[in-house]
Structure 1
Amino acid sequence: MKNVLNFLEVLFSENDIEKLLKNIISYTKEYIKADRGTLYLYNEENNSLESIVIEGENISKIELKIDKNSITGYAFLEDKILNIKDVYDEKNLKKIDKNLKHNEELDKKIGYKIKSILVIPIKKGNKKLGILELIKKEKSFSKKDEEKLNLIAKFIGIALYNSLTIVNILQKQEEKKILIENIAEAIVITDLDMKILEVNSSFMEMLGFRYTFGEIKDRYLPDILSEISKELIQKTENVKKSWIADELLSDLIKIKILPVIIKDFNKEKLKKIIYIFKYPKG
C-alpha cells in the first residue's frame, strides 16, 4: 500500500506530461511485475491508438486500429480489462470473441514472442483516454495482478486527463499567440466591457511603444484611443447588439470590429470583441 501511495503522490504532483507518462509505465511495470509496458493514447481524429510511451531501445511507435485484429484494440473497443494467459491460444481468444486475434506485428516490433498480455482502458469517468498494455514473454498474469491494475487505473485516468487538459489549454493559447503575432495589422482583444485582454506587437508599435503590455492590460480601450473613443464605443455597442461585424472609418485608420461567439452547453454566447486596425492605403 505504501508503494501505491507513493505512486499517487507522483501522479498528482507531476505537471510535465512526458515525465508523467514515463512514470506511469515505469511504476506500473514494476508494480505488476511485467516485462514491458506500453501506454497508448486515443487519437480521435483517425480513431486509432498511438503508443506514446513504449519501453525498449530502437522500437518505433506503434499505431493500432480499434478493432478485433489486436487484443489491445479490442479491449479499448469493448471497454474492458483483458488478461490473456497465452496470446497464441486461438481457442481461448475465440471464447472471448470469434473474430479476436493477436497482432503478431507487436512481437516483431519488440523483438520477441509474447506469452501473455494484460490490458486495461484508461478513462476519466466515461471518457476513454487510452489504454495501458503490459506483457510477459514467459509467465502469465494472475487474477491478483488484474485487480491491482484495476485499482490504480482509475487514478491514472484522473491524472492523465488533468495533464492532457493543461496541454490542450497551453496549445490553444500558443496557437492564438502565433496567429496574432503573424498578422501584420494591429490587433486588440477585449472583453464585452472593452477592457483589454490581449494585443499583438503591431498594436504596441501603432501606439509608438508608449506603453508596456502590463500598463494597458485591463485598461478601457477607448481611454487608449481617446481621439476616436466616442465612435469606437458606438460601433462596439452595435456589434454587441447585432453579433455582426462592423467597421469604423476615419481619416487616419480603419478598424474592423469582430464579435467572438462560442458555444456553451449548446447555446451561443458573445464572449469577446476583436479589433483589427488597418491604415488606409495611399
Structure 2
Amino acid sequence: KIHATKNIDEIILELSQELCNLFNADRLTIYLTSEDKGSIVSKVKTGLNSFKDIKLPINEQSVAGYVASSKKVVNIRDVYDDAELKAYSPQLNFLKAVDAQTGYRTKQMLVSPVMEAKTKELIGVVQIINSKGGQPFPPMMEEGVVQLAETLAIAFRQRQGPMMMVRTKYDGLVTNAVISAEELELAQRSARRKNLDLETVLIDEFKVTTLALGSALSAYFGVPYEPHKA
C-alpha cells in the first residue's frame, strides 16, 4: 500500500494511523534528512499536528538524532530512564520539551534509521512511540520496524523521482538497477575530481561490467550492443 501512494506527504498522512495500529502504538514520527544532511526534520507527528516541525541535529544528544547518527535500531523501555539511555551513549538524552508543552508522557520508543538500500545513505528516521499495552515493544517488533524502514526508503526514493535531471548515456545502468542514481552521481563526481573517464570509474570503483556499460550505451544510442570479440 505504501508503494501505491503518490507522494511523501500522502504516504505519511494517509498511512500514519494504520502504521500505529500495525505496531499497536499510540504515536508515530517520521523524520527526513535536511538538504545539508546535518539534521533531520519531522514530516509527520501523529497527535502533534499543531506542534511546529521538530528539527534535530544528527548527533547522539537525542534519541532520533542518535539513530540517525549510528544507523542502529533502538528499543527503549522508558525514555525517562537515564541509565537505560546512557547504555546506548553517554551523551544520549530524551528531549522532554515537547512532553512538557503538550502534557503527553512519552515512555516506550522503537526507532529505526531509514536508509537507501545499496549505499546506506540516510534518508530519515521512523519513530514508534508508546505501546498501547504499556509494555515494552517485543523483539519481533524490532524486525517489523526495520522492514517498515526498508519499505519507506524505497517509496521515498521512487516518489522523489530521478536524482539527475540531465539525461546521460549511462542512465540505463540506473534503469536496469545495476547501480543507483546516487551511485551514478558519485561516479560522475569522482571522474571529474580525478580527471578520469566515467567508464573507468564505473568499472574500477563501482564494479560495473563492460556488458552492463554496453547495454546502457546501446539503449541510449538506440543501436544493438555487440560485445567486442578478440
Query: Do Structure 1 and Structure 2 share a fold, with TM-score over 0.5?
Result: yes
Question: Which of residues 139, 159, 169 is equivalent to 2:155?
Answer: 159
1:149 aligned onto 2:145? yes
C-alpha distance in 2, partners of 1:135/1:44? 26
1:75 aligned onto 2:75? no
- CA deviations on 1:65-123 (whole Å, 9 max, x unpaired) are 11222111101100000000011111111111112111112323553121111110111
C-alpha distance in 1, partners of 2:161/2:101? 31
Q: Which has the higher contact order (CA 8 A, sep 6+)?
A: 2
C-alpha deviation, 1:263, in angstroms: 9.5
Q: Where do 5+ consecutive residues of structure 2 fail to align?
A: 167-184, 198-230
- Number of residue pairs the alignment of both structures matches: 170
Percent of aligned pairs with the same amino acid: 25
Q: 2:38 is matched with which residue?
A: 47
Does the aligned pair in 2 maintain the 1:60–1:109 contact within 8 Å?
no
Q: Which has the larger radius of gyration?
A: 1
Q: SS of the counterpart of 1:147?
A: helix
Name whichever structure is richer in strand by fraction.
1
Q: Where do 5+ consecutive residues of structure 1 fail to align?
A: 1-9, 174-261, 270-282
C-alpha deviation, 1:52, in angstroms: 0.7
1:106 aligned onto 2:98? yes
Calculate the aligned-residue CA RMSD, in Å.
Answer: 2.7
Taking the TM superposition and a 5 Å limit, the aligned residue runs for 1:1-282 are 10-45=1-36, 47-56=38-47, 57-108=49-100, 110-125=102-117, 126-136=120-130, 138-165=134-161, 265-266=188-189, 267=191
Q: SS of the counterpart of 1:158?
A: helix
CA 1:110/1:143 → structure 2, altered by over 3 Å: closer, same or farther? farther
Q: Return structure 1 stretches of 4+ with deviation > 6 angstroms.
A: none
C-alpha distance in 1, partners of 2:28/2:143? 17
- CA deviations on 1:174-225 (whole Å, 9 max, x unpaired) are xxxxxxxxxxxxxxxxxxxxxxxxxxxxxxxxxxxxxxxxxxxxxxxxxxxx
What amino acid is aligned across from residue 34 of structure 1 in structure 2? A
CA 1:160/1:111 → structure 2, altered by over 3 Å: closer, same or farther? farther
C-alpha distance in 2, partners of 1:124/1:161? 8
C-alpha distance in 1, partners of 2:96/2:150? 29
C-alpha distance in 2, partners of 1:110/1:163? 33
- CA deviations on 1:20-75 (whole Å, 9 max, x unpaired) are 22244233211101100011000132611100111124222111111222111101
